[in-house]
Amino acid sequence: MELFTTATKEHDELRQGEAYESAQNKAAFSKFFYVESYGCAMNFADSEVVASILEKNGYGSTRNLEIADLILINTCSIREKAELTVRKRLTEFRKYKQQKPGMLVGVLGCMAERLKSKLLEEEKLVDLVVGPDAYRTLPDLIIEAGTGQKAVNVLLSRDETYSDISPVRLDSNGISGFVSIMRGCNNMCSFCVVPFTRGRERSRDAFSIVAESKDLFDKGYKEVTLLGQNVDSYYWTNPETNTQVTFAQLLESVALISPLLRVRFSTSHPKDITDEVLFTMMKYPNICKYIHLPVQSGSTRVLQLMNRTYTREWYLAKVVRIRELMPECSISADIIAGFCTETEEDHQDTMSIMQLAQYDYAYMYFYSERPGTLAEKRYEDDVPLDVKKRRLQEIVDVQWHLSNDSNKKELGKSYEVLIEGNSKKSDLHWMGRTSQNKVVVFPKAGALKPLVKGDYVHILITDYTKGTLMGTIK
C-alpha cells in the first residue's frame, strides 16, 4: 500500500489513531461512538466519513470508552503487525462490554472482509463488520447487531466514492485536512492487499473535491492533502460536458481556491506521474514542493516480481526529471527489505538507488507476506527473518545519513512555515512545516506581532537533527 499521512509521523509500521471528540454539543446526542483508526491516511479519512454518517443518525463522538455505546476500530491489513495490534485492542474492549450491557463493538476497513468469520464467530470479538464501501449501511447494521445478530456488509463497490458526504473532522488541528479524491486501486502490486480490500479504482467527481477543499479553507484550514492510492491516475469525466479532468487539472483547481491554501497530495506512482503534474506544481507556489514516490526496491528483477511495471532506470529518470524542474522539491519513498527471492545483490541495488535518489526521508519495512496477495500465491517467502531485519537496518542506516545530510543543507536558508501548533516539547515554541514537508521548531519570542496556529511565518534555519529543523523568526 502506498499511502501515508502527512499531518503526523507518516506511514509508520502501524499508527494507532486517537479516539475523537465531536465538536457538536454532547447534549444533542443520546448515544455516543468511539473510533480508533490504524494505518494509512485513507483510513483516517474514512473514519471522518463514518463520523458524519453516525452523527446524522443520532450519535455523538466521544474520547471516553466508558460512556460509548458503540466502539469502532478502523483497521489496516498492510502488515501482520497491524493485524496483531488490532486483535489485541479488540480483546481489551471486552472489559468495557462487560461493564456496559448493550455496548457494540465493530470492525471497519481493510481487515473486514478477510477476517469477518474469525472475528465474528471463532473469536467472538466483534458484533459487526463493515467493509470500506459499506459505510452507508452502518446505521442499519447497528440496529441488526443490537438484536443480537451478527451484522456484516463487506461488499465492494465499483462506484462508491462518498462524494456527497461532508466528513466530520476528527482530532483535527484545524489547520490541515484530508480530502479523498478516489478509492480503490487498479495496480496489482504482488505484495499489496489494497486491490482486494478496497476494490477497483474509481475517481470522485471534481466538483465535490473542489467544494470540500473550499469549505475547509472557509472554515479556517490552511492546508489540504488530496488522497488516493495512486493520485496520478485520477481521471473523471464530466457527464454534462463529456470533458475529462486529469489529476493535474484537479490539482490546479484546488490551488486556485486561494494562494493562502497549501495543497499536498499522496501518493504518486512512478509509472503515472506526468510532466503535466510537475509543471502545475511549478506554476503555483501554494502547491507544496514535495512528492512521495515509492520505489519499494532498487533491483529491476525484484521490481518485476513485485509487478511494479517500471525498471530501476525508469524510476531514476523520474527522480532526475523532478530535480531538473524543481531543484527545491523534497522526495520521499517507501522501501521494502527482504521481498521474495531477494539476494544480497538486489539489496545492494536498493541501497545504491537510495544514494542516487538522495531521499529526504523514507518509510522502510521488511516484507510481511499478506494472505490473498499475488506474492502469497506465486512466490515463496524465502528470505529468513533475521536476514530481513539485518537488511532493513542497513537501509535505515543509509537513510539516517541521507536525512541528516538533507537537513544539514538547510542551515542558513529561510523558509515560509505554516504554524500547526505548539512544539511537543515546549509551549514556548511553535511547530510547523515547510512546503517541502520538513518539520520546523522555533521560539515564539521574536515575532513582530502575536502569532497563532494557521499563520505563515518566515524562519531562518539555525540548527537541525535528522528529523527536525530548528530556526528563528526573521
CATH code, 118: 3.40.50.12160
Q: Is residue 14 part of a domain?
A: no
Question: Which one-letter amino acid corresponds to residue 384?
Answer: P
Same domain, yes or no: 328 and 441: no
Which residues, including other chains, have CB under 8 Å from residue 404's CB and lie 6 or more apart? 464, 465, 466
Answering whether pTM is above 0.85, one says yes
Boundary (domain end) residue, out of 89, 121, 153: 153
Same domain, yes or no: 348 and 237: yes
CATH number, domain of 441, equals 2.40.50.140
- The stretches of 147-274 forming alpha helices (DSSP H) are 194-197, 206-218, 247-255
Q: Is residue 3 part of a domain?
A: no
Same domain, yes or no: 32 and 81: yes
Same domain, yes or no: 104 and 226: no
* End-to-end Cα spacing for the chain: 40
- 376-397: pLDDT as tens digits: 999 999 999 999 999 999 999 9
Q: Cα-atom radius of gyration of the chain, to the nearest Å?
A: 22
Q: Rounded to whole angstroms, how far apart are CA atoms 426 and 257?
A: 34
Same domain, yes or no: 295 and 375: yes
Q: Answer yes or no: are the C-beta atoms of 404 and 390 closer than 8 Å.
A: no
Q: Is residue 16 part of a domain?
A: no
Same domain, yes or no: 340 and 228: yes
Q: Is residue 20 part of a domain?
A: no
Boundary (domain end) residue, out of 407, 433, 460: 407
Q: How high is the pLDDT of residue 1?
A: 31
Q: Rounded to whole angstroms, how far apart are CA atoms 416 and 420?
A: 13
- Closest CA relative to residue 351, chosen from 305, 401, 386: 401
| The three three-digit cell numbers of residue 148, written as one number | 443480537
Q: How high is the pLDDT of residue 112?
A: 82
Same domain, yes or no: 312 and 434: no
Boundary (domain end) residue, out of 120, 153, 186: 153
- Closest CA relative to residue 249, chosen from 230, 269, 235, 261: 235
Query: With DSSP H G I counted as helix, E B as strand and the rest as coil, what are the percentages for the chain, rounded to 5?
Result: 35, 25, 40
Same domain, yes or no: 257 and 385: yes
Same domain, yes or no: 448 and 396: no
Q: At what angle do helices 385-408 and 344-357 cross, to 10 degrees?
A: 10
Q: Is residue 32 part of a domain?
A: yes
Same domain, yes or no: 292 and 438: no
Low-confidence ranges of the chain (pLDDT < 70): 1-27, 122-123
Same domain, yes or no: 284 and 365: yes
Q: Is residue 190 part of a domain?
A: yes
Same domain, yes or no: 216 and 321: yes
Q: What is the 3-state secondary structure (H, E, C) of 69-90?
A: CEEEEEECCCCHHHHHHHHHHH
Helix (H, G, I), strand (E, B) or coil at 338: coil
Q: Is residue 249 part of a domain?
A: yes
Q: Is residue 100 part of a domain?
A: yes
The parent domain of residue 279 ranges over 176-407
**Domain total of the chain:** 3
